[in-house]
Homo-oligomer: A and B are copies of this chain.
Amino acid sequence: MKKTGLIQLYTGDGKGKTTAAIGLAIRASGQGKKVAFLQFLKSGDFNSGEEKVLKKLKNIRFIKFNEQSPVFNKKLNLKYLKNKSEKNIEQAIKIINSGKYDIVILDEITHHFKFKTIKINEFFNKIKKRPDCVEIVITGRWILKELINKADLVTEMKNIKHPFDKGIFARKGIEY
């Protein structure tokens, strides 16, 4: 049966995916909705701007999973990542199925789909019995066809021009 809560996907190589997810969390919390914001594959202990603000808002539960991405650590053993992140993915599934949140944001979870720490089909099977009205927001750079098929709303963020190409790197308060 079709759910009333949609699956939104923000994908592609352009800037704006995580920031759009933050915006959605803010908008929803402003309208009294309960939000779970889960950030995957965020290793290191630096605090992003969004973390500082979102953690303080009463309708938002913010969880950062301290995993490394194979994209940034080429030597990372995928089996090790899989073991390390299994419980995080299980926690995400539990949160989606709990019915405690109107919106669950899975920021950068597509790393896991891409590197098959969990298969897309397996993940969606595990959230099949979620409450009808839960809205799910997924972000991540790779454009995965199987994921597009699962989603109701898909925006591709396309990089048209990016200053990184000119050697300008991530700036505090802008990129994190």
Contact = CB atoms under 8 A, between A and B. Distances in A.
A99 interface: no
Interface stretch (A77-85, A90-98, A108-116, A156-164): A156-164
Contact of A21 (B10, B23, B102, B151): B23
> Chain A binding site: helix, strand, loop or mixed by DSSP?
mixed
B27 A20 contact: no
Contact of A152 (B30, B102, B163): B163
Contacts of A173: 27-28, 30-33, 102-103
Contacts of A148: 160-161
Contact of A16 (B30, B157, B160, B162): B157
Given A22-B22, A28-B49, A16 B174 contact: no
Interface of A: 6, 8, 10, 12, 14-24, 26-33, 48-54, 57, 102-103, 135, 148, 151-163, 168, 172-174, 176
